[in-house]
Structure 1
């Protein structure tokens, strides 16, 4: 079989809103952080689970989400950087993808929604995993043809 890569696009993002009143714990914001497929792609075809590593001050800072939506909703008082591990439904390497996300919270104003897209290329995935990637929105990435 010819060498071919599959490219998938993840969307990492968050929503945050300032609470009308600070809680007794000092929480000023409600927020949600998420990982999803770009343009509505259903990444659950090839994603086994997503692990969000929240700041150590949260109860149960390691959050394992095994089905969509791959998101965590919480309340807090400050932004922080968190690590996100995306585990794939494959026995081949790579079995997971690590991502760092900056959960920044606004200081005033209405709800904020931020997101960014990240492309990830799977190099010559196995036939079964290739099908899962394509069902989940992956696209064939054809290498450039060199003249010569």
Structure 2
């Protein structure tokens, strides 16, 4: 989209806004009965969504969201242009199988930016790298596959920049979300910010607390990798020393590879 003549990019500025996308699935049971008319082979109800972290408003930069579901589902292309209570663009469905959902995010017209496409695998059953992780999911009320993402607006057009940084009434928030590059100061630009909660709650797993836990986990993994590399290095040096000794002892023996 070609910008109007009066639209110029705000040079040296990056603005990021966190959001969550993903799905929540629940097995049909006495607590979650099948709605009337549900096909008999459907085993789960599920929701796919895009929303702000801590249910903060994202409609000032996200105009609408398109969800492309499996072709076997009636009306598989769903365009959602209104948010539900809690600020989510979402689709509710039932089914029995897992599949990939294409999510296309459309920005507000003032952004003059092209839509962004994301891909999400619908999860109906416990998953994880370990049996312990799967067991935790089995004990939970639902199966969540939520992904934290940050939308980066690099040098936005001036009208969109004003929208991103203008004050707004909101019950939650705080923090800083605008980074000024090329030696500029980093600071707050208004109440529309990129904050995330300080602590984790069952309905909001992404927070500064989980961020710190993940950083600690990565640091511990780096230490283990370094220890393994040192161990393998020592073993390699020992084998090279032994090989040199054998070559010196048996100079006429040809080694085969």
Given the two structures, how large is their TM-score scaled by the length of structure 1?
Answer: 0.84
CA distance in 2, matches of 1:92, 1:131: 10
Contact 2:123-2:143 at 8 Å conserved across structures: no
Q: Deviations over 1:40-98 (max 9, x none)?
A: 22111111110000011000000000011300000000111110000001355532111
Query: Which blocks of at least 5 consecutive residues in structure 1 are unaligned?
Result: none
How many residues are aligned here? Answer: 145
| Residue 155 (structure 2) aligns with | 124
1:32 aligns with 2:47: yes
**Contact preservation (8 Å) 1:8, 1:133:** no
Q: Does 1:98 align with 2:136?
A: no
Contact 1:89 1:95 in 2 (8 A): no
Tell which deviates more after alignment, 96-105 or 19-28. 19-28
Residues 68-87 of structure 1 aligned to structure 2 (within 5 Å): 68=83, 69-87=88-106
Structure with greater strand share of residues: 1
Greater mean alpha carbon deviation, residues 71-80 or residues 11-20 = 11-20
Normalized per residue, which structure has more helix?
2
Q: Is the 8 A contact 2:24 2:143 kept in 1?
A: yes
The reply to whether residue 115 of structure 1 matches residue 142 of structure 2 is no
Instruction: Map Cα deviations across residues 7-47 of structure 1 (whole Å, 9 max, x no partner).
Output: 11120122111112785441000001110112322111111
What CA distance in whole angstroms lies between the structure 2 residues aligned with 1:13 and 1:25?
Answer: 26
Q: Larger C-alpha radius of gyration, 1 or 2?
A: 2
Q: Secondary structure of the residue that 1:36 maps to in structure 2?
A: strand
TM superposition score normalised by structure 2: 0.51
Cα distance in 2 for partners of 1:130, 1:25 equals 50
Q: CA deviation at 1:144?
A: 6.3
Cα deviation for residue 113 of structure 1 reads: 2.4
Are the structure 2 counterparts of residues 92 and 46 from structure 1 closer, same or farther at C-alpha, using a change threshold of 3 Å? closer
Higher mean C-alpha displacement, 14-23 vs 92-101: 14-23
Gaps of 5+ in 2: 1-9, 127-137, 184-257
Seen in structure 2, the aligned counterparts of structure 1 residues 39 and 131 have a Cα distance that, compared at 3 Å, is: farther
